[in-house]
Structure 1
């Protein structure tokens, strides 16, 4: 059996491997060789008596045991980082500039205030925040940190999961006074569906879910208005001009206040991950690490919106 400190170190290394997506990147980040990484993970698997990873030349896949252990390892890693950050924050002055790119919805809903609070705690720091929906090239454009929503392509970037953003199908009470409420996904084809053009699955292809089986499929809807700004779609829907599929976080308060009504609950299959993304680096600057932790905490505080 491994000693307690060896278990802890190997668990942290295991979490790092999963986050980096490869043994070589994890080795570079940890400042050791790939052979050392392989040896330590092999040692951990032998001690636990369980296979944790399936490794090919191109990818890593977690086993069921590996997935369960990863969640625990991440929790340990987070606690270690919190302890280190607590000490570092007191001993090192946070100065300089952080350049950020964030989605417009999260920027308006949460991040503008959250980042301003962080800057207030660190008067020597300046954050330049760009609200935009395109996936910027962080390295090419000199961006230190991005908050991204969606499926991330394989790249040299490091992505820290924050939470999942669930989407909902909504309309106004006034719309339902003039039109029958859809009782099935197919019934949407008889309605004016207002579409948000900034979505991976395409403008008119709504990701739907079979409530009984959970199967995800695409439904080709139609409508007389599309826009690349979700707030514009929200306003048109509140005005009673149609039905839309939008991020729940954006209309959470409208649903609570009765301005909008969710329809076909359980049929919407669109869920997008929200990530903190930054260029791969062996030593992430303290100011960026602290800002990421602050942002994650801010998201978690209003996770019910999502």
Structure 2
């Protein structure tokens, strides 16, 4: 990784921490008046926040720690990844925050803070904050039930923004059918003509994560017991609609990027095959036969 890019990420962390006023009392910033520059700086911050989790924290403090933990995780220093993952897991396991109002509050805070972090980058796009969070969400989903519900709320918010749907009133995941209604407003031709591959990937991966975490995960009993619903595939007719839409997108992407020999575009085609179409009942057999000579059915790949 380019050192300048790494240093800029440290700058983003510093600016986010300055914004997170509820955390001021839990770490020593006397040596960081200008910026964070080294792994030792970050390790010290991680240690301070791990100690803070042993205290009685307010809702504002723990949600601020969510943002800090995610920013620390995406810094990209593999030498201290274990400590950063420990902090992330401990944050999302600090307390049971399954009340809808708390999930909504935490999700809004994360969206606001990560948007701010992304805005500090030069030549940033309006969806860069989604890419930051998409990198962390698989870890958040598996951290706790609270983490899973917040993640589903974040993914739903991404899709609403990318599809220019009506603003989300409350950041709570409901069901895949509701998410699909947002997709139906999008024209595949517009995506191919006007969107970058990264933006298309952001939309596709957001839906794939909802599909995997909500509808295809058998470990949602605690969330159902807490009163949440929507942890199943929609009715067959809706599944068929979703399959057809993604098949059209997949086939047009393949046609376009075979012609221009774009490796990233063809990787996105395979991502759609194995993370969406191969998992939907109406499309599974057909897509498996098209791509099955290279991978076993139900195998998932990363973009």
* TM-score, normalised relative to structure 1: 0.28
Higher relative contact order by CA 8 Å / sep ≥ 6: 1 or 2? 1
More strand by share: 1
